Chains A and B, each alone.
Chain A
Amino acid sequence: MHSPKNEAELAEIIAGAETPLCVEGGGTRGCEVEGDRLALRGLSGIELYEPGSLTLVARAGTPMAEIETLLASEGQRLAFEPMDTRGVLGSSGAPTIGGAIAVNSSGPRRIQGGAARDYLLGVRFVDGAGQVIKNGGRVMKNVTGYDLVKLMAGSYGTLGVLSEVSLKVLPIPEAMATVSVAVPDLLSAVRAMSTALGSPYDVTGAAYDPGSGLAHIRLEGFAPSVRYRQEKLAGELAGSGEVENRSGSEHLWQDIRDVAAFQGREGDVWRISVKPSDAVKLAPMLEAEALQFDWGGGLIWALTSEGADLRARLMSAGLSGHATLVRAQSATIAALGRFQQQAQALELISDGLRSRFDPRGVLNRGLMRAGQMAGMGRA
């Protein structure tokens, strides 16, 4: 296992790699491609934090907990609400900021504030040839050259290994409240969430749990403002079902974020991104053992029997969107691929980018392309 202590060592390891590397942040997802483990935990530490500029710069291997603790001491947070995958994956380890960025993590607040990519101001990374590259910076508005920052977020370590990230952080709001509506079915739930998301009340979460039959709407801000909006929304949603106003409910949203309902249950876990209104059509076709809806219906979490191919069902329904296989036996992942194949022209572009940023194919080889995993990729 390689454990670089700094960026220079990281660059040296990658430049000298003669076999593929499996890039690992906090190890919460486990290494899933073949190769020598390259652990980033040694690249740790917060390099800059300016609360008055809402800016944080940290080395990629910095534990998420360390960052969250520091931010909380100034009343701030990472607003993209990174998911803690350990529960649903049944894994251990300590999540790192680099890992969260590499997978473009996001939570229920995606509908209002965006994903990790939307808070990522700058990166330093080492490409597959061992070259250190920087892009972006530490300021909130930056259109200087191409936005490789976005490209790196969600590239799962296949274009380069992050060594440092700059982030925009936000204040923790004074208050949070939830409006929960008891709805008869998914259609009513999506309609209620659409009403809430189409209101002027700045909703920061809209999720539906078919188990309890509740659609939850989250509001955040100053206490008087949250109270006001909660009352308004409760009024507008009264026609959808019985409304319950809750204060707090941090745990509820944490459970939604982490898909706690699936924890400890057998089966495959899928994450499907669709247009919210399409969820109504798609959900019955999934034949899932359990479902959870977030993002107003636009994010579907499905727990299915082992080996079920939900992607085929998404495509047979003629819906646009994509399905990611989050948890399954390795044989299923090998058969179906973790990520959905895109149109050929897009796969060609993506392959082109990967072969230019990682010409020898040493970084998380095959992770993002099923074809490569099956041995069809570049040598």
Chain B
Amino acid sequence: MEMPVPNVAILARKTHLAARLSLVLPGDALIQDEMETRAYECDGLAAYRCPPLMVVLPRTTQEVSDVLRICHEEGVPVVPRGAGTSLAGGALPTADSVILGVARMNEVLETDYDNRVIRVQSGRTNLSVSGAVEEEEFFYAPDPSSQLACAIAGNIAMNSGGAHCLKYGVTTNNLLGVTLVMMDGTVVEIGGAHLDAGGLDLLGVICGSEGQLGVVTEATLRILRKPEGARPVLIGYDSNEVAGACVSDIIKAGVLPVAIEFMDRPCIEACEAFAKAGYPMCEALLIVEVEGSPAEIDHQLGLIKEIAQSHNPVELREATDADEAARIWLGRKSAFGAMGQINDYMCLDGTIPVSSLPHVLRRIGELSQQFGLAVANVFHAGDGNMHPLILFDANKPGDLELCEDFGAEILKLCVEVGGCLTGEHGVGIEKRDLMLHQYSAEDLEAQLRVKDVFDPQWLLNPAKVFPLSVTESRRAPALAAE
């Protein structure tokens, strides 16, 4: 993955920049020691590493504003970082960039049950937002797999989803307001506790902009009352086609489960070997979860079982208590760990129309043969968000590149059938160079215009999301200015 050549003029002014930043930050908020900055050299996409010029860890919006203003004046790129769990390289530094980490900004600022909102600093972790309202039986709905570690700032940057977004939506559907610091240090308030912010939907375009438009320091989030209960059912089929048809029939029948998870045979085998959840050995497993009171759950599961039966499942297992429910989820939740036991893996994130599922799985199987790399599929079937896990050996020369090429083919396939490159992980650097497969140059130009407005100097996370060739002319002035 190509990254821009670092600006030597900026590297040469490191001491000067550090001196300026140290005037606006407490001593422990500025890290420039090379051993310490190494902790920030990568995010969840660990194959790519580069220590930043320095790291700042502000505690207030004012400090963020001061840092950005100074970097703006100095023409230094800034890479915002939440908890560093991005799987797409969204927080990967360049050698001439300052990492702006919001991890120390983790306070709950206001909890308002009457209006069903919570206001938090953006470094707070996803799960701890729910934790803050748990005693009143409320929760924050988006639940990415990394929710224990990932920060709201990163969730907003990537518009994160999760297993339960079929019912509750993704981050953008649950975000009501932000405090945003622009690259020149200007602090703006967008939206609030009311349901629709006025004017153009700036909140909508900031959410999912991968830290390229501004740094979100505070967020107002919708909180919801927890359902009375939830229960899953496990359904096994001997073909992907039939499992796909079952998903489609469930949706058409008007049952809207909170989650429909799909695992294929390689994934089932790996999970079973790792977690011993007692899964049946078959071609495709569905985990369908519904919510409500016990009677409501019974009713919905009754309908789902009826539909499932009509497709002749090889296994149909309903959880009757919390233990059985946990066992059904056990394998699915350990899927990534199971893969990690076998080998290094790369997790993809394309989305496809649900109707294309059998075709796409068949093609992935063929590509797997062609590339000689095993792949396991686990995904959110209700909304077509796939997570193919490609296994490779990082110690074997050329294997990573082979794996990346294979991954690129799968993502192109997703686009071909009417889907997209990424459903919830973001583009980052990982899918940056595939953007022209999904969008024309004119489509991308329209997106670049938005960044031109928010960050005219192209200093915020500039080497991400768009192919470098597409953004070159915009990034050039910052370089030339030195």
Contacts and interface: CB of A to CB of B under 8 A. Distances in A.
B256 to A, nearest CB: 7
B44 interface: no
A340 B228 CA distance: 41
B201 A150 contact: yes
A147 B205 contact: yes
Contacts of A305: none
A202 to B, nearest CB: 8
B473 to A, nearest CB: 16
B5 interface: no
Contacts of A198: 113-114, 116, 138, 225
A345 interface: yes
A332 to B, nearest CB: 19
Interface in A131-176: 131-135, 137-151, 153-155, 159, 170-174
A7 interface: no
Given A75-B254, A148-B447, A171-B254, A143 B200 contact: no
Contacts of A202: 227
Interface string B234-255: 0000000000000011011110
Contact of B351 (A139, A199, A298): A139
Contacts of B114: 194, 198, 276-277
A50 interface: yes
Contacts, number: 257
Contact of A140 (B248, B295, B383, B444): B383
Interface in A33-84: 50-55, 74-75
Nearest to B298: A224
Contacts of A140: 166, 351, 383-385
A200 B225 contact: yes
A261 interface: no
B140 to A, nearest CB: 14
Residue in A50, A139, A199, A228 with the greatest tally of chain B CB atoms within 10 Å: A139
B378 interface: no
A352 B453 CA distance: 6
A174 B383 CA distance: 22
B312 interface: no
A145 B435 contact: yes
A104 interface: yes
Interface stretch (B49-57, B337-345, B417-425): B417-425
Interface string A341-361: 011011101101100110000
Interface stretch (A17-25, A92-100, A110-118, A242-250): A110-118
Interface stretch (B186-194, B266-274, B325-333): B186-194
Contact of A52 (B190, B201, B226, B355): B355
A52 B249 contact: yes
A319 to B, nearest CB: 9
Contacts of A298: 115, 194-195
Contacts of A172: 254
B450 interface: yes
B449 interface: yes
Nearest to B209: A146
A330 interface: no
B195 A111 contact: yes
A143 B159 contact: yes
Nearest to A139: B351
B114 to A, nearest CB: 5
B186 A345 contact: yes
A183 interface: no
A5 B170 CA distance: 36
Nearest to A158: B200
B296 interface: yes
Nearest to A50: B355
A133 B196 contact: no
A343 B253 CA distance: 47
A224 B427 contact: no
Interface in A263-284: 273-277
Given A137-B420, A224-B295, A368 B447 contact: no
Given A142-B420, A147-B205, A350 B200 contact: yes
Given A135-B443, A198-B116, A224-B296, A339 B198 contact: yes
B454 interface: yes
A111 B193 CA distance: 12
B48 interface: no
Given A142-B420, A155-B200, A320-B194, A228 B446 contact: no
A147 B172 contact: yes
A52 B199 contact: no
A173 to B, nearest CB: 7
A174 B254 contact: yes
Given A320-B193, A350-B199, A143 B295 contact: no
Nearest to B160: A143
Contacts of B251: 52-54, 171
Nearest to B248: A52
Nearest to B159: A143
Interface string B169-211: 1101100000000100010111011111111111111011100
B405 interface: no
A348 to B, nearest CB: 9
Interface string B355-381: 100000000000000000000000010
Given A150-B203, A198-B114, A225-B299, 4 more contacts: A132-B442, A145-B444, A170-B256, A222-B300
20 contacts: A115-B195, A133-B443, A139-B383, A139-B418, A141-B165, A143-B158, A143-B426, A151-B204, A159-B200, A170-B256, A171-B253, A171-B256, A200-B225, A222-B303, A275-B192, A277-B112, A295-B195, A346-B188, A353-B453, A357-B449
4 tightest Cβ-Cβ pairs between the two chains A and B: A150-B204, A52-B248, A322-B198, A171-B254
